[in-house]
Structure 1
Amino acid sequence: MLLPVILAGGSGTRLWPLSRQLNPKQFLALTSEHTMLQETVRRLDGFEIGAPIVICNEEHRFLAAEQMHGLGFSDATIMLEPVGRNTAPAITLAALKAMGDGKDPLLLVLAADHLIRDRGAFQAAVSAAEPLAEAGRLVTFGIVPDRPETGYGYIQRGAADGPTGYKVERFVEKPDLETAQGYVDGGRHFWNSGMFLFRASRYLGELERHRPEMIAACRKALDHAARDLDFVRIDRPAFEACPSDSIDYAVMEKTDDAAMVPLDAGWSDIGSWSALWDVSEKDASGNAFAGDVLSSGASNTLVRADQRLVAVVGTHDLVVIETKDALLVAHKDRVQDVKNIVSQIKDQGRQEHFNHREIYRPWGHYDTVDGGSRDAVRRITVKPGARLATQMHNHRAEHWIVVSGTAAVTKGDQVITLRENESTYIAAGEIHGLENRGSVPLEIIEVQTGSYLGEDDVTRFEGTHYD
């Protein structure tokens, strides 16, 4: 049996404005109706696997939990890193947790933000790696390169290791173009995928040998971890003391038992908008459109329209990405410079890099439709059976109007039922709560008014995890 370990940390900016700090690409549906995290798990269909271990940032916990629940994994372990410490400590936490029940499973370590188009080839490579991992090898998967790429590290294969793999000769840093071309022509170098298969005890044993201070810090952080609903909250002080390092530097480059299995499965890390265009289905003119898009004379253009009609006329080699609160227009050759725009947004104290206008929570989501200095309008959707925490605001009042569904509204010691087209007023300082006891989504319009509308103006009395 394989135990998937899904590395879902990170908050990249290269796919802005769709990817945001609180909703990065691993939680987005970029190539199918499922998110990249969900696709990472779905490509294991057919294997006998244990309940996955997902490692993510604390601020992404609700996204991870909701998406794993959407796949039917209510028993997934979601480990929350209080700070980033690179891949080696993250995998160490998962390995220690996996062995905590007295078991020693094969850990299949996968990144949550990779695209693999050929599921059959991927599964064949994993199956080919299993005998090596059973024999005590620490297996990595080397992507068969189809071009000279200067943005990836490489793995140089050595002698054959069994019928399916090779010994790792060495790991190579990102090369210049001429060197990368030589790697491709020589046929002995593979892109470093960052995916691994090994027995938990073998990884921990090698880490104990080469980085004992790292495994000690991770043990302490896990020993002092707290369980909170779906989540394992790693102890912050202990984990902050842990050295930061990649698994390559900490273990794979030092061990004598590193092996590699080639993988030729249409792999991509979707590292830019041009990379997404590369792997997207295109029309006869090379256009890749998603959403409500009209075109005339466009070619080799990527358009994603999330909310509005987007029309492109005579465009060539452009990327156009539309969201509720931002629009990106870029030449495909310059999409790596999107990070410069994100830097400007941060420098100006704006919020468009941080999150989308629509915010997701375990109970549903809300969209801030409009607002000023003393007012805000939100559309709130509450899932059937879900509720918000009972709370109070000191500086703002709220008006709730039910658009559809039935709301159970707590106001002080009273619970009232509101149906479609009914409303209520909640004064500043009044304790209140909201619950959907029905079988269909509850939609309400919330109008906030007051001298201060900040999200920190809240006192919660129960169920703080609902917000």
Structure 2
Amino acid sequence: MDRRIIPLIMCGGAGTRLWPASREVRPKQFLSLFGKRSTFQDTILRVSDKALFERPIVITNTAYRFMVLEQLTEIGLEADILLEPVRRDSGPAIVAGAVFAETRDHEATVLALAADHVVGDTAAFLAACRQGLVVASSGHIATFGVEPERAATEYGYISPGEIISGDVRSVAKFVEKPDPATAAEYIKAGYLWNSGNFMFRASVLLDEYRNVDAGSVQVVSDAIDKAGRDLGFVMLDPESFAKADAISIDYAVMEKTARAAVVPVSYGWSDVGSWHAVWELSDKDGQGNAAQGTAVFEDSRNCNVSTDKALVALEGVDDLVVVATQDAVLVSRQKDANGLKRLVARLRTVAPEVTESHLKVHRPWGSYQSVDNGDRHQVKRIAVKAGGRLSLQKHHHRSEHWIVVRGTARVTVNELVKIVHENESIYIPIGAIHRLENPGKILLELIEVQTGSYLGEDDIIRIEDDYQRS
């Protein structure tokens, strides 16, 4: 079969099941949990074989657009990036991807994948995609049902029906996440885990969606027709897209269609839905302990440590998760994912900032991190990528003093344009129109000392901006 598949990577979620590492502004699909690459990058690389796949489509939201672009650039790949103006769950997102895919190829076959899943066996994954392509070409909507390794309660299940071809079966029914006893019965009955990944001809998926909600398909199609393009992104029309009903693709289509098929797979799949899942997928020492970052274990077993900088030492404990970021530390039991969900819900009421953002804030030009705060001062560490520059801006309430510690800066202060080298500094008075640029080939790092009566990030008046934020 010579038809290729268009990957549709779903990259707009903002779950906190891996808090405090995963937060609203930088969720788990962009984190490096198992090495140097994020799960988003691994997902894109998995579908990069041009013999089988066409140029991917990534659907995400405006807040993540530059992280998507940066992470694609890091692995040397490109994609069409669609931006949802509001979140409407997976149903309208997949409709948007299918409609856009049809603008590229009226007979498009689409593979919808979550950006935050892990696959251990790429060869088996590709073999499953080829099976799915055959089934999708015959008019089915194929889902990938994972052969269970245990009686999991964190996944939905699929009951396979009649044989369609080879190992592929029709779907007898989808069932919700079970309790432990029910999960054990499902395993005995041959049920499969529902991975939430799908393959379909775009036209078939859209026809089936129209059968249950033609209005949402129409307004999402309108959002594609009226989409704008900015800095290479496809920005879906906000007014049209907001009219779509927020619903998952499972509820909208898969549980209602007679075209559902399931491809049984066994390729080391996980949705990485908890720190326990991270531990299961990580390398461990002889006592079952796993660590990302610097950790020391003494008389401890089956523990999982993730730390940004601080050394974590555990003594005389078993089955613990310890996650240390620069502004929060989590200590929890390995297997109580629901407990973490309750904890994050409570944190949203008592300390919402630690569920929303990190101390290190990523921007399209680089990043900044607050290292000290006082009543009338703040110290930040700023990093600007080679060729990057901040907006031309001014502040009403603060002055700034910049000290370059690495690289070379080009600084504009009103009419003055000056090159500032390592171990040199420059002062930005209150109200001065200014801009910071990195004209060099290496990362620019500097220390910024702010002083003034108000130091909030909303005291930025952007006059010009490369990233259309003014």
Q: What is the TM-score when the length of structure 1 is the normalising length?
A: 0.96
Identify which of 126, 131, 148 aligns with 1:128.
Answer: 131
Give the partner amino acid of 1:403: V
Q: Is the 8 A contact 1:65 1:230 kept in 2?
A: no
1:41 equivalent to 2:79? Answer no
Q: Say which of 274, 284, 287 aligns to 1:285.
A: 287
Partner of 1:411: 413
Q: Is the 8 A contact 1:387 1:466 kept in 2?
A: no
Report the Cα distance in structure 2 between the residues aligned to 1:31 and 1:103, rounded to whole angstroms.
38
Matching residue of 2:87: 84
TM-aligned CA distance change 1:101 to 1:122, over 3 Å: closer
Superposition deviation, residue 206 in structure 1: 1.7
**Offset at residue 335 of structure 1 (A):** 4.1
Separation in 2, partners of 1:54, 1:232: 10
- Give 2:112's aligned residue: 109
SS at match of 1:121: helix
Q: 1:465 corresponds to which letter in structure 2?
A: Y
Q: Which residue of 2 aligns with 1:13?
A: 16
Q: 1:24 aligns with which of 24, 27, 31?
A: 27
Match of 2:184 in 1: 181
Paired with 1:384 and 1:301, the residues of 2 have a C-alpha distance of 40
Give 3-state SS (helix, strand or coil) of 1:49's partner.
Answer: coil
Q: Which deviates further from its counterpart, 226-235 or 266-275?
A: 226-235
The alignment's C-alpha RMSD in Å is: 1.6
Amino acid at match of 2:54: G
Q: Is the 1:149–1:180 Cα contact (8 Å) retained in structure 2?
A: yes
In the other structure, the counterpart of 2:387 is 385
Q: CA deviation at 1:313?
A: 1.2
Equivalent in 364, 367, 383 of residue 362 of structure 1:
364
AA of the residue aligned to 2:455 = L
User: What aligned pairs does 1:147-296 form with structure 2 within 5 A after superposition?
Assistant: 147-187=150-190, 189-296=191-298
Identity of aligned residues (%): 45
Is the 2:112–2:199 contact (alpha carbons within 8 Å) kept by the matching residues of 1?
yes
Gap regions ≥5 residues in structure 2: none
What SS class does the counterpart of residue 104 from structure 2 fall into? coil
Rounded Cα–Cα distance in structure 2 between residues aligned with 1:360 and 1:193: 30
**Contact 1:302 1:319 (8 Å CA) reproduced:** yes
Greater shift in the superposed pair: 34-43 or 333-342: 333-342
1:54 correspondence with 2:46: no
The alpha carbon displacement at 1:308 in A equals 1.4
**Counterpart position of 2:67:** 63
Partner Cα separation in structure 2 for residue 152 and residue 208 of structure 1: 28
Residue identity opposite 1:157 in structure 2: P
Contact preservation (8 Å) 2:5, 2:133? no
1:434 aligns with 436
1:322-361 pair list within 5 angstroms: 322-361=324-363
In the alignment, does 2:311 pair up with 1:309? Answer: yes
Superposition deviation, residue 101 in structure 1: 3.4
**Could you tell me how far apart the structure 1 residues matched to 2:322 and 2:153 are?**
26
Which amino acid in the other structure matches residue 77 of structure 1? D
How much does 1:102 deviate?
4.7
Kept in 2, the 8 Å contact 1:140–1:259? The answer is yes
How many Å apart are 1:45 and its aligned residue? 4.1
Pick which of 162-171 and 46-55 moved more.
Answer: 46-55
Using the alignment, how far apart are the partners of 2:298 and 2:185 within structure 1? 42
CA contact (8 A) 1:62 1:361 kept: yes
Q: Distance in 2 between matches of 1:434 and 1:466?
A: 17
The answer (yes or no) to whether the contact 1:207–1:251 under 8 Å persists in 2 is yes
- Quote the offset at 1:342 in angstroms: 2.2
Task: Report SS of the residue matched to 2:355.
Answer: coil
The answer for the alignment partner of 2:144 in structure 1 is 141
Deviation at residue 190 of structure 1 after TM alignment: 0.8
Cα distance 1:101–1:139, how it changes in 2: closer, same or farther (>3 A)?
Answer: same
Q: Give 3-state SS (helix, strand or coil) of 1:461's partner.
A: strand
Which range moved further: 170-179 or 59-68?
170-179
Query: Which deviates further from its counterpart, 118-127 or 146-155?
Result: 146-155
Kindly indicate whether the alpha-carbon contact (under 8 Å) linking 2:91 and 2:248 is maintained by their aligned counterparts in 1: yes
| AA aligned opposite 1:337 | G
| Separation in 2, partners of 1:310, 1:43 | 34
Q: Any stretches of 5+ residues in structure 1 without a counterpart? A: none
- C-alpha deviation, 1:450, in angstroms: 0.7
- Distance of 2:47 and 2:124 partners within structure 1: 12
Q: 1:156 deviation in Å?
A: 1.1
Match of 2:399 in 1: 397
Separation of aligned partners in 2, 1:331 and 1:252: 35
SS at match of 1:353: helix
**1: distance between equivalents of 2:233 and 2:300?**
47
* Distance (Å, rounded) in 1 between the aligned partners of 2:468 and 2:327: 25
Partner-residue secondary structure (3-state), 2:308: strand
